[in-house]
């Protein structure tokens, strides 16, 4: 206190500090308002995002290095075992695919008979998940592709077993995606067995979703597979989402308590597939080696 009085100008006590605070608070509120409303600030976000990119790479590098190290020091024996396992798996998958091709042809014929629009194959691209923690307020992950690779906001992410989430913030080099388990995430699904349509909402727990709008009398039971219905316009139809874990019907309540377990390994995925469905915006990176098509 004594030292502050000895000085002529003390910026820490001047009214200018309070004024500057007010100005900055005002600026923050304007920024938040605009950012919440529209996408006008995407370019600002992208510009700063490029500056953050080296840090993300730096954080990701040790994990990547560790997995590279463990890959390159695996014994020959283990590699052979792994190779054998993969060969068997490939054989099984191919065998299943043969049947699937026939079914697809049959499906196209039936659709033609019904005059329905035939389904177009979706373009996909594999993206790696960076070991970077993002937003503490939501279930999200960071992937190593951005608008440079044709990624767009709202793009669907799947892994080998099912839907993982969707892109919410597209950067130039990296993007942030929201998992389906986030409390703010809702996904239009249908029961694969009978086509019952409903909505799967995240619970904030990585291993469970809830279906809040299933009426008590609906035909749904534990073990039912839920697939995307394609109604929201974000996710292409037909990708597995979750398996119904439990159905509790409470008399006098309009809706049943239904919880489901996500099909994708949300907590453990290292690689995801981005989907460009037909008619969606964006431009699939066809020329990249990782690009392909979902059969």
Partner 1 sequence: MIQHNAMPRRTVIVTLIVGLLLTIMPLPESLDPFRPDWLALLVIFWAMQLPRTWSIGTAWIIGLILDVSQGTLLGQHSLAFCVIVFITVRFHLLMRVFPLPQLTATVFGLLAVYQFLLFWTNGVAGTHAASTVYWGPVITGALIWPLLVMILSGVRYQDRSGN
Yes or no: say if 255 and 214 are a contact pair by the CB < 8 Å rule. Answer: yes
Identify the bridge partners of residue 187 per DSSP, sorted by sequence position. 200
Task: Find the helix or strand (DSSP H, E) in which 176 lies.
Answer: strand 175-179
Cβ 142 vs Cβ 134: under 8 Å: yes
Q: Torsion angle of alpha carbons 225, 228, 232, 237, nearest 10°?
A: -150
Least CB distance to partner 1 at residue 1 (A):
6
Cβ-contact 193, 164 below 8 angstroms: no
The residue among 40 and 76 lying less far from partner 1, judged by its C-beta, is 40
* Calpha distance 144→135 (Å, rounded): 16
Measured from the CB atom, the residue of 56 and 244 that comes closer to partner 1 is 56
Query: CA-to-CA distance for 70 and 133, rounded, in angstroms?
Result: 23
Residue 177 and residue 165 in contact, taking contact as beta carbons nearer than 8 Å: yes
CB 105 within 8 A of CB 112: no
Give the nearest distance from C-beta 164 to partner 1 in angstroms: 16
Nearer to partner 1, 207 or 223 (CB): 207
Q: Which is nearer to partner 1, 56 or 125 (CB)?
A: 56
Question: Least separation, in Å, of the C-beta of 210 and partner 1?
Answer: 14
- DSSP state letter for 255: B
Closer by beta carbon to partner 1, 32 or else 83: 32
**Which residue, 48 or 86, has its beta carbon nearer to partner 1?**
48
CB of 129 to partner 1, least distance (A): 10
Q: What is the DSSP letter of 215?
A: B
Cα gap 250→165, rounded to integer Å: 31
Nearer to partner 1, 181 or 277 (CB): 181
CA nearest neighbour of 244 among 265, 261, 219, 229: 261
| In the complex, minimum distance from the CB of residue 41 to partner 1, in angstroms, rounded to a whole number | 6
Q: How far is the CB of 272 from partner 1 (least distance, A)?
A: 16
Residue 234 CB, shortest distance to partner 1, in Å, is 18
Of 160, 163, 135, 148, residue with least CA distance to 237:
163
Q: How far is the CB of 154 from partner 1 (least distance, A)?
A: 15
Residues that bind partner 1 (CB under 8 A): 1, 3-4, 11-13, 17-18, 20-21, 24-25, 27-32, 34-36, 41, 44-45, 48-49, 51-52, 55-56, 58-59, 63, 131-138, 140, 168-169, 176, 183-184, 204, 206, 267
> In whole angstroms, what separates CA 83 from the centre of its chain?
30
26 or 100: CB nearest partner 1: 26
């Amino acid at each position: 206190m004594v030292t502050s009085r000895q000085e002529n100008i003390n910026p820490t006590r001047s009214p200018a500090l309070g004024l500057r605070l007010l100005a900055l608070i005002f600026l923050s509120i304007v920024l938040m308002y605009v950012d919440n409303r529209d996408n006008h600030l995407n370019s600002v976000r992208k510009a700063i995002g490029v500056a953050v990119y080296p840090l993300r790479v730096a954080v990701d590098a040790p994990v990547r290095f560790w997995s590279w190290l463990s890959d390159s020091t695996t014994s020959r024996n283990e590699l052979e075992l792994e190779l054998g396992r993969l060969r068997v798996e490939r054989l099984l998958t191919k065998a299943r695919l043969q049947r699937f091709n026939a079914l697809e042809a049959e499906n196209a014929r039936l659709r033609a008979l019904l005059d329905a629009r035939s389904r177009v194959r979706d373009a996909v691209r594999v993206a790696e998940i960076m070991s970077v923690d993002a937003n503490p307020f939501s279930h999200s992950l960071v992937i190593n592709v951005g608008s440079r690779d044709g990624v767009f906001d709202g793009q669907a992410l799947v892994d080998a077993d099912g839907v993982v989430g969707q892109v919410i913030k597209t950067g130039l080099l990296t993007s942030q995606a929201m998992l389906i388990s986030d409390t703010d995430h809702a996904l239009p699904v249908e029961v694969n067995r009978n086509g019952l349509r409903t909505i799967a909402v995240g619970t904030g727990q990585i291993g469970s979703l809830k279906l809040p709008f299933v009426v008590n009398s609906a035909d749904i039971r534990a073990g039912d597979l839920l697939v995307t219905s394609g109604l929201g316009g974000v996710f292409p139809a037909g990708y597995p989402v979750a398996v119904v874990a439990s159905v509790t019907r409470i008399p006098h309540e309009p809706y049943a308590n239904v919880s489901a377990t996500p099909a994708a390994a949300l907590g453990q995925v290292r690689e995801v597939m981005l989907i460009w469905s037909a008619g969606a915006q964006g431009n699939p990176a066809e020329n990249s080696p990782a690009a392909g098509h979902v059969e």
